[in-house]
Chains A and B, each alone.
Chain A
Amino acid sequence: MADSLAAAPVALVDLLDRVLATGVVISGEVVLSIADVDLVYLSLRALLSSVSSVRAVAPPPPQQGRPA
């Protein structure tokens, strides 16, 4: 039961850990420059910085270090 891959719900953040950072096979040729790891991360950083606006309806993360 626990080994069923299809049944496993997958959080995007955990999936991206794997399909972007690992699961690496080999660079493709067309998108060599962008498939290069650093550039993928570069794009991903831009992507992640846009997530907050996409998910604006979600409650903001707790503020750290604010004086009581």
Chain B
Amino acid sequence: MSAADGLWLHALMRDPDPALLSGLTGVGGREVRAIPVAGLTAIVCPVDLGEFGEEPLRGNLENIGWVEAVARTHHQVAVELSRFGPVIPARLATIYLSDQSVVGLLTRCRTDLAAALERIGGRIEWGVKAYTASAPRQPRPAPAPGGNGAGTGTGADYLRRKRAALSARSDAAVAAADCAEKLHTKLAAVAQDARRHPPQSRRLNPRAASMVLNGSYLVDRGQGDRFAETVAELADGYGALDVELTGPWLPYSFATVPLPETLPETADG
């Protein structure tokens, strides 16, 4: 590791056999390595600060191609690591300057990290997204009595139809939001833990505007099929919703630990 290198934090786990990490390439394009401290291990990859330092990173985070490549590698490494035990994936772009800093992190957050590993061990995450159901085509309103029957109507008729269409759309959105609450509650009841993410970006998901649920559910490994069946059964019961299942995921949404109030500093005694 040269002075121009940083350490990209991939994940935290209990002590994996170092031999298992051999050949696993991280975000920096180099082999990952383990930094063990008292029963926990940080998996890091050296990265060039010319690409991953603060200024270049700021620019790179605005490049969707770069972000996608990095995010997919980050994810893939965590998935590989999960074959060897429970994994806490780091948030994207968590970078340190030295082994010593990583050791400081592990030491300081050891208790919370161990608790998080305990919580997610043997479990996986499923995503459930729900949208206001694509409205079935509205029937044409009957021509006004005394009209010419051609369906064009007057300006007042047009406005009335317009108002009715808007009102129907708004009713559908309210009904969908209500169903989404119920769906989330029922799924949370069969999951070990549950969390709702904010609705997704319209730029990345064209249906985001009608998104009423972006949920994550922590489920025991081996119960995935049953959870998927539950989702399908519940979805059938909510005609107001289009429901989509994603996963299985590493338990990203449940592997969080509280942020320390201050960062470990090199001068920190």
Report A's interface with B, CB cutoff 8 A: 1-6, 8, 10-35, 40, 43-44, 46-52, 54, 61-62, 64
In the complex, A61 Cα to B202 Cα: how many Å?
Answer: 9
* B249 x A64 contact (CB < 8 A): no
CA distance A29 to B221 in the complex (A): 34
Query: What residues of chain B lie closer than 8 Å to A6, measured between beta carbons?
Result: 79
Residues of B within 8 A of A49 (CB): 203
A62 to nearest B CB, angstroms?
A: 8
- The verdict on B88 contacting chain A, using a C-beta distance below 8 Å, is yes
Which of B17-25, B49-57, B149-157 participates in binding chain A?
A: B49-57
The total of Cβ contacts below 8 Å across the A-B interface reads 175
Q: Are B96 and A29 touching (Cβ within 8 A)? A: yes
Which listed residue (A10, A11, A51) contacts B203, Cβ 8 A?
Answer: A51
From A16, A30, A33, name the one whose CB has the most chain B CB atoms within 10 angstroms. Answer: A30
Closest residue of chain B to A14, judged by CB? B246
Chain B residues, CB < 8 A from A5: 79, 82, 124, 248-250
Nearest-Cβ distance from residue A15 to partner chain B, whole angstroms: 5
Is B188 located at the chain interface by the 8 A CB criterion?
Answer: no
B192 is an interface residue with CB less than 8 A from chain A: no
Residue from the list B65, B71, B88 in contact with A25, Cβ < 8 A: B88
* Residue in contact with B204 in the complex, picked from A10, A25, A48, CB distance below 8 Å: A48
Tell me whether B71 and A12 are in contact (CB under 8 A).
yes
Closest residue to A11 on the B side, CB-wise?
Answer: B246
Q: Select one of B202, B214, B256 contacting A23, CB under 8 A.
A: B256
Known pairs A13-B201, A34-B61, A46-B62 / 17 extra A-B pairs, C-beta < 8 Å = A5-B124, A5-B249, A13-B204, A16-B71, A19-B92, A22-B216, A23-B255, A25-B91, A25-B113, A26-B94, A26-B259, A26-B260, A27-B263, A30-B6, A31-B53, A31-B95, A61-B202
